[in-house]
Amino acid sequence: MNKLEAVVFNNRGGPLKLKLKVAKKMPLPQRCYLWACIIFGIITVLPLFHYMSRWEAVNEVKEEDLIRLSNLDLEEGLVYSGNIIKSILDIKSYTSTVLENGLRVLVVSDPLTSLAAASCDVAVGSFQDPPNIPGLAHLVEHGLFLGDSEHKEANTFEQFLAEHSGHSNAFTSQENTNYYYKVSPDKLEESLHRFSLLLSHPLLELESLQREYHAIQSEFLKDKLESARQVWRLIKHMANPSHPFHRLSPGNLETLQNLQHSSVIKEFHSKHYYPENMRCVVYGREDSQDLLEMSRKCFSKLTNMKPRSEPDQEKGWVSAYPEERLGVWVDYEPLREGNDLDMIWPVTGASRCGLGMQYTCSQRGIPNQR
Ligand SMILES: [Zn+2]
């Protein structure tokens, strides 16, 4: 070993001696051996780092991903997994199928997840509300988890999820109602059975639903104070009154008073909640085949659901923004000071009813109904 001695001065003026040891040059064979060990170590450890770096991401099932996935347009009659575009870091595998009852299901297998999850999207929203009961689709969303034919006590599903590290939520938009929940992975199958039962055989009794009127009313009052909602209401108000977009979509205490009989809400449910009108996503630790089998078994409860009547034919709807309603200047008093530029335009044929609206230059977007 060679020794190198350096002298520096500390801030008190005294000398501070440092002794540095410099190794002799390592012989070539040892250097080659050392480099080989380093390269081998990197190759071995890299996959471990890869999984560790993804741990945070896979640990948490993102609700927006579930909702997005349950809105995917899946090809009918085909089991496939190759059409999902995903990141190279995404270790999850995706497989979709159409069950015998017509329900489209996407299963996501993630062996590392600490929570399982499921989501179901029903192609019904405020546009399908009866004209005299705005908010009916929203009320069904609020009432669906209140009990089913086997669990008649209110909120037992919520309690079940809470006991197993989970929770649920739902929202109603113009043309979709979406339900989603998370649960401990070992309770996924049991939760799917219960979820399926709620979707197919909810109680929807008028007495228990009336308690939800006040929840919807408080959402309505809260929305009145939100600036983004104010603009949204104005945009809706400017639409053609003959188009359902013009209506008060979330409903409130006043509009829901028009609901007099449970039969109306049950008929609405059976008209729209049938397998061909729904898409589900199941997310769990099991491999894809097991998840598909689990979905097939649990969602078979939906088999008996047949629409009593054909869903509304929306093709006959008038345009939401005919020519005379475009290019109009409107002054309004905003709820808050601010500078926003929202650019919105109707796109014919972009959605089922011919009303496709996208916010492009707005950072806040339009929140969904809760
Ligand atoms: Zn709500």
Q: How far is CA 316 from CA 20, 95, 242, in A?
A: 87, 36, 11
Q: What is the DSSP string of 172-214?
A: E-SS-EEEEEEE-GGGHHHHHHHHHHHHHSB---HHHHHHHHH
Of 253 and 76, the structure prediction assigns the larger pLDDT to 253
The reply to whether 212 belongs to the active site is no
The pLDDT assigned to 20 comes to: 46
The pLDDT assigned to 130 comes to: 92
Sorted by sequence, the CB contacts under 8 Å of residue 263 that are 6+ apart come out as none
Q: What is the pLDDT of residues 285-326, one digit of tens each?
A: 999 999 999 999 999 878 755 665 555 555 556 788 888 888
Q: Computed from CA positions of residues 216, 266, 169, 171, in that sequence, does the dihedral angle turn out positive or negative?
A: negative
**What's the 90 CA to ligand 1 centre distance in angstroms?**
33
Q: What is the pLDDT of residues 192-236, one digit of tens each?
A: 999 999 999 999 988 888 889 999 999 999 988 888 888 888 888
- The C-alpha atoms of residue 273 and residue 302 are separated, in whole angstroms, by 9
User: Residue 332, exposed/middle/buried by CB under 10 A (0-12, 13-18, 19+)?
Assistant: exposed
Task: Give me the catalytic one of 64, 100, 141, 150.
Answer: 141
The pLDDT assigned to 118 comes to: 96
Sorted by sequence, the CB contacts under 8 Å of residue 46 that are 6+ apart come out as none
SS3 54: helix
The pLDDT assigned to 230 comes to: 87
Tell me 42's DSSP state: H
The pLDDT assigned to 77 comes to: 37
**What's the 370 CA to ligand 1 centre distance in angstroms?**
4
- Provide the pLDDT confidence category of residue 39 given band limits of 50, 70 and 90: confident
- The C-alpha atoms of residue 113 and residue 115 are separated, in whole angstroms, by 5
Instruction: Indicate the pairing of strand 2-9 with strand 15-22.
Output: antiparallel
Protein residues placing their CB within 5 Å of the ion ligand 1: 219, 370
The pLDDT assigned to 228 comes to: 81
The pLDDT assigned to 6 comes to: 44
- The C-alpha atoms of residue 135 and residue 213 are separated, in whole angstroms, by 10
SS3 63: helix
User: Residue 93, exposed/middle/buried by CB under 10 A (0-12, 13-18, 19+)?
Assistant: middle
SS3 220: helix
Bridge partners of 80, per DSSP, are 96
- The C-alpha atoms of residue 115 and residue 285 are separated, in whole angstroms, by 8
Domains of the chain (ranges; CATH) run 2-56 (no CATH), 61-315 (3.30.830.10)
Q: How far is CA 309 from CA 129, 137, 236, 271, in A?
A: 15, 17, 29, 6
Residue 361, token pair as written in the block: 């230059």
**What's the 171 CA to ligand 1 centre distance in angstroms?**
7
**What's the 129 CA to ligand 1 centre distance in angstroms?**
15
For residue 240, pLDDT beyond 80: yes
- Provide the pLDDT confidence category of residue 42 given band limits of 50, 70 and 90: confident
56: left (phi over 0), alpha (psi -120 to 50) or beta: alpha
Q: What is the pLDDT of residues 71-104, one digit of tens each?
A: 655 544 344 455 677 788 888 899 989 998 889 9
For residue 351, pLDDT beyond 70: no
